[in-house]
Structure 1
């Protein structure tokens, strides 16, 4: 889609918005050109630039799976000028889309393996893409386990999907919040601690994790305690991307560019990079 001019956005229409949490809003958009929308192809984990005309653009993962192409979904946490403006948009408004950008989760090499998803807060957005893709291709993967946590029930995105995820027979879902809350019937505890309690097996398994940096730090330590090797752990980075095509240098880590070489990396790959995250 971006081959002819990587800086030129495709015009899209917001067809629906969902207020996920007080600070996270989901946008479902369709490209205005029906032919371009029909031909649009991407892989789980790839990102796109959403632009608000006259304000700017920011990078977000496409968190709808390529197996469900009624629209492209982006979930936006309010964190600055562009995201604040995005939060004011409603159905019928126009946005710019530059996508797909970056690499994808290694879903082909994950076939036949058990998958352990560990998500925190808005970090569930990229995991959702891969999770739904795998559920839509269920026969290709082994046991699927999801641990999803947030500070409180109100801080959990995609709450409308949790009833299905927690009752499906072909996956195990554990939900947790940091501290007790009225009416909460699931786990209470920090994600790394709950992960250690769950103790998923590392044999023939891959762990995929995303969330706040402090959560990632201790989740990686927990996974190592559980026997996961560095190349069995996959994460996706959020480091400021501007151009999305490796020219501006805003997202470099040493010689790597998150927008080109990532945003998906194994823990083994991350350990080879300078400590600049």
Structure 2
């Protein structure tokens, strides 16, 4: 075939088995390497590209070079595609890692995959978190529910380059103690010098001795320099809006507050218009935006 691209027809879908030519509309075949059940409805998949060692090195260097905040389109044979954020640095172990909840037909199909099963991957797409802009500043990360997953690779990067940043504050809100993801990592992060981790839940339990209430209640309590800080927020939009309001009361500028938006993304390239948000396309112009970019639209459910 042209350019030596090998193609495989599977379930009426054309797949690249080597990506010497980058076609963002053609998925690359990946293999499931590990499956971790985080909670009753949340799981983490680690996947690796198929093909020879040389093909993997040349074919998937873009996918394995994904930046924190970007997402991939994951395709399950016979079910369809779904956008999932990257939840760990691909540089570690040469794997793509994605964490999601099984709330729809495609994510339920993803949750049924086993080690050795195949799936398709397109990406990475979208804008990353502003790590370089945060150098020399305090960093505040605010996550709600599954929103901790897209921020997890940011935390990995900040810890790996700890001397480049000021205070690191992680605020995490969960529905209940049973819904907390990355429990072991949260404990490890909290033990790091110069790192503050606060966890709160909407509904406590008899065994829960931590904070109960919405995550925004934690913002007045934390120590950081509002004039020299970058804030990154990921979670339900209503939670992000109230978080922004609380941060502004602390004196944080809207241009220093970053949010990760979610809409019904299909093509991931800005062609189909499903994820249009005012003048922006979430898949192409986002998903990471400054709050100032979206302030006039933020409270509107669909634009």
Q: What's the TM-score once normalised by structure 2's chain length?
A: 0.86
* Cα distance in 2 between the residues matched to 1:273 and 1:2: 40
* Cα distance in 2 between the residues matched to 1:185 and 1:136: 30
* Cα distance in 1 between the residues matched to 2:212 and 2:48: 38
Residues 218-272 of structure 1, C-alpha deviation per residue, up to 9 Å, x if partnerless?
1111111111110110011111111111111111112211111000001011125
**Counterpart of 1:162?**
186
Relative to 1, partners in 2 of residues 1:218 and 1:272: Cα closer, same or farther, differing over 3 Å?
Answer: closer
Q: CA deviation at 1:185?
A: 3.0
1:133 aligned counterpart, secondary structure? helix
**Counterpart of 1:119?**
143
Is the Cα–Cα contact under 8 Å of residues 167 and 224 in structure 2 kept in the other structure? no
Return 5+ residue gaps in structure 2 as ranges: 1-18
Number of aligned pairs?
Answer: 277
Is the Cα–Cα contact under 8 Å of residues 138 and 224 in structure 2 kept in the other structure? no
Which of the residues 86, 94, 98 maps onto 1:62? 86
2:225 aligned counterpart, secondary structure? coil
State whether structure 2 residue 268 is matched by structure 1 residue 244: yes
Q: CA deviation at 1:67?
A: 4.2
Return 5+ residue gaps in structure 1 as ranges: none
**Counterpart of 2:36?**
18
* Cα distance in 2 between the residues matched to 1:57 and 1:2: 23
**Counterpart of 1:253?**
277
* Cα distance in 2 between the residues matched to 1:37 and 1:234: 33
Is the Cα–Cα contact under 8 Å of residues 237 and 261 in structure 2 kept in the other structure? no
Relative to 1, partners in 2 of residues 1:108 and 1:66: Cα closer, same or farther, differing over 3 Å?
Answer: farther
Relative to 1, partners in 2 of residues 1:138 and 1:146: Cα closer, same or farther, differing over 3 Å?
Answer: same
Which of the residues 90, 95, 106 maps onto 1:82? 106
* Cα distance in 2 between the residues matched to 1:186 and 1:165: 17
Relative to 1, partners in 2 of residues 1:177 and 1:235: Cα closer, same or farther, differing over 3 Å?
Answer: same
Residues 79-99 of structure 1, C-alpha deviation per residue, up to 9 Å, x if partnerless?
211111111111111111111
1:203 aligned counterpart, secondary structure? helix
Which of the residues 31, 56, 62 maps onto 2:49? 31
Residues 10-62 of structure 1, C-alpha deviation per residue, up to 9 Å, x if partnerless?
10011111111111111010111334544231211111001001110100111
* Cα distance in 2 between the residues matched to 1:204 and 1:67: 29
* Cα distance in 2 between the residues matched to 1:260 and 1:35: 30
2:247 aligned counterpart, secondary structure? helix
1:14 aligned counterpart, secondary structure? strand
- Say which structure, 1 or 2, has more relative contact order (CA 8 Å, 6+ apart): 1
